[in-house]
Amino acid sequence: MVVSLGKGRHSYKPVTDWAKLPTDIMLGDVAGIAVDNKDRVYLFNRGSNPVVVLNQRGDVLSKWGQGTFANPHGASIGPDQCIYLTDNFDHTVRKFTLDGKLLLQIGTAGVGSGFMSGKPFCKCTHSAVSPSGDIFVSDGYQNACIHKFDPKGRLLKSWGTPGTGPGEFNLPHNICCDADGWIYVADRENSRVQIFDENGRYETQINNMHRPSGLAITPGSCPDCIVGELASYLTVNREFPNLGPFVSVFDQQSNLLSRLDAQQGPGLGPGQFLSPHSIAYDSTGDLYIGDVVDADWAQVMGDSEKPGQPRRFQKFKRVENAQSESELTPLQR
């Protein structure tokens, strides 16, 4: 039995056997997760049913998107209650109604802008919508920039170049907008989250993390960042402890507030992760986390996966911690 993970106001407990998937739905890697204002959960995955919609109890409500995507990578729901789905192999961001009607496509399917072109898109990774309705896209696998579009998909500006300095990127992998319009970018291989205003002006960064992949932010102004940290991909330090994979919560001063880590290393058990790639939360504060399993991890895990087992995502129920927020030290807040 897994006890609660994390601490303080960011304490959670894995909900085992949450999703009630019928045998005809075989999920692939859940690369993107989003939750709407009715707490319906959208699993953007690499199986034959790219979008699977569940309620809070884990019942399947609908499925759609068959034959549309090359490689699902990121999902977000904007203030307009439309879902934005980013396909890194197809170089596109598509906007849909929540029941799957295509409203807008940014980018030309199958046509990239060129390696490090600075132009949209070359293997874009994720998208987010600001309170004003502008669309921000992280363009990361063969680019190193952020693109800003108006609500109709017209390019307004791009910023960022390869590098390690402020406003430079080494694989911008995920992006979020807060209630004030600030932009948060998971700069994965620079091991930081950079924060910008809506015009791309660098403001600050959050450090003390390792290879941030999944990213979500808590509601309101000056939010905390919920970060899916990856393990090392390098042979020289792949076996090092305390380098992930796990899910951590940071404040904007880079203080570690909480960490979901089962202390058992990577794996498929409750509270364990392989590559926490997507993170979303609902109105009650529950977390939904999707894993992406690359070839190396698949080899490590062998045949431990049972056919049809929904191992690539988990639900974590927010729990009250015995330690109240007022009892936490500044480093814990």
Maximal CA-CA distance, the chain: 54
The one-digit pLDDT tens for each residue of the chain (333 residues) are 567 899 999 999 999 889 999 999 989 999 999 999 999 999 999 999 999 999 999 999 999 999 999 999 999 999 999 999 999 999 999 999 999 999 999 999 999 999 999 999 999 999 999 999 999 999 999 999 999 999 999 999 999 999 999 999 999 999 999 999 999 999 999 999 999 999 999 999 999 999 999 999 999 888 999 999 999 988 898 888 889 899 999 999 999 999 998 777 788 888 899 999 999 999 999 999 999 976 555 555 554 444 444 457 999 999 976 453 333 333 333
At 217 the pLDDT is 96
Q: How far apart (Å, rounded) are the C-alpha atoms in residues 313 and 329?
A: 32
At 146 the pLDDT is 98
168 alpha-carbon distance from chain centroid: 20
Residues sharing a CB contact under 8 Å with residue 141, sequence separation 6 or more, in sequence order = 88, 122, 123, 124, 125, 171
At 239 the pLDDT is 84
At 245 the pLDDT is 93
| Dihedral over Cα of 170, 176, 177, 179: its sign | negative
Which DSSP symbol is given to 71? S
Q: How far apart (Å, rounded) are the C-alpha atoms in residues 102 and 65?
A: 10
At 297 the pLDDT is 54
pTM of the model: 0.92
Domains and CATH numbers, the chain: 5-327 (2.120.10.30)
Closest CA to 34 of 92, 65, 67, 78: 78
At 331 the pLDDT is 34
